[in-house]
Amino acid sequence: MKKIFLCVILCIIFLLVGCGSNDSKKNDADNTESSATGGIGLTYNSTSITLGDSFDNIKSGLGEEIRPSEEIAPCDGEGGNHIEHYYNGLLIGTDMSGNVAYYMIQSDGDDTTDVVREASTDKGLKLGDSADRAKELYGEPYNESDYVIAFSDDTTVLTCGLNEDKTIMYFYFTIKD
C-alpha cells in the first residue's frame, strides 16, 4: 500500500511541476560549477551531492547501486536523455556528460535505513520533517497541498511529498528554460 501511495505522490508531483531537463545548465570537465542557486544540495551517506556535480566524483561515496543504471528519455520529449542511478532510497539522474541533473530521495516507511533517515538537504531538511519545517528552511512555497509542497527559485525546484504533514520524499531538479 505504501508503494502505491508513493507512486501516486510522484504522479501528482510531475503533474504539478512538470518535467525538467538540464539542457541550459551544461557543465564541461573544466567547469564543474553547480547550477544550484538556492544551495539545495543533498548529503547522503556522508557524500555531498549538488546539481551539476560530476557523478564520477561522487559515486564512490554513495555505496553500492541496488540495480543497474539505465538510460531514460526525457518525459517531455525535449532535451537529451539521462542516466538514472539507483541506490537505497536514492535516485540520481545524470545528463549524458555525467553531471547530476536531478535527484530524488524517499522513505520506505518502516524499511527506511539509517543512511536514508540521515540524508538531508544543505539547509537541514530531512525525511520526516514537517511541512512547516520545510517552509522555515526554504520560505514561502509556490505550490502547497496536503500531499505536496514545492519551492522554486529562478532555476531550480525542490518538491516534497507529504504524508500526514511529514516529508516522505523530496525531488530536486533544474527548471527547463
Residue 174 has pLDDT above 50, yes or no: yes
Average pLDDT, the chain: 77
CA 125 to each of CA 117, 118, 132: distance values in angstroms, whole numbers, following the listed order? 11, 10, 11
C-alpha cell at 88: 537505497
C-alpha cell at 55: 557523478
**Helix (H) or strand (E) segment spanning residue 84:** strand 82-87
Tell me, what's the pLDDT at 17? 38
Residue bearing the bigger pLDDT, 147 or 28? 147
Residue 20, classed as helix, strand or coil, is coil
Q: What is the CATH classification number for the domain harbouring 33?
A: 2.60.460
C-alpha cell at 92: 540520481
Tell me, what's the pLDDT at 165? 87
Residue whose C-alpha cell is 512547516: 132
Asked if residue 101 lies in contact with residue 54, where contact means CB atoms within 8 angstroms, the answer is no
Average pLDDT for 49-73: 93
Residue 33 has pLDDT above 60, yes or no: no
Residue 140 has pLDDT above 90, yes or no: yes
The model's confidence at residue 115, banded by pLDDT at 50, 70 and 90, is confident
Residue 176 has pLDDT above 60, yes or no: no
Asked if residue 103 lies in contact with residue 91, where contact means CB atoms within 8 angstroms, the answer is yes
**158, 162, 167, 173: CA torsion to nearest 10:** -20
DSSP state of 126: B
The model's confidence at residue 75, banded by pLDDT at 50, 70 and 90, is confident
Dihedral sign for Cα atoms in the order 25, 30, 42, 59: positive
Residue 137 has pLDDT above 90, yes or no: yes
What is the distance of C-alpha 102 from the center of its chain?
Answer: 5
Structural domain containing residue 77: 2-174
The model's confidence at residue 14, banded by pLDDT at 50, 70 and 90, is very low
Residue whose C-alpha cell is 524517499: 106
Asked if residue 51 lies in contact with residue 22, where contact means CB atoms within 8 angstroms, the answer is yes
Of all residues in the chain, what percent carry a pLDDT higher than 90?
Answer: 42
The count of domains in the chain is: 1
Average pLDDT for 40-65: 91
Least confident of 9-18, 55-64, 90-99, 113-122: 9-18
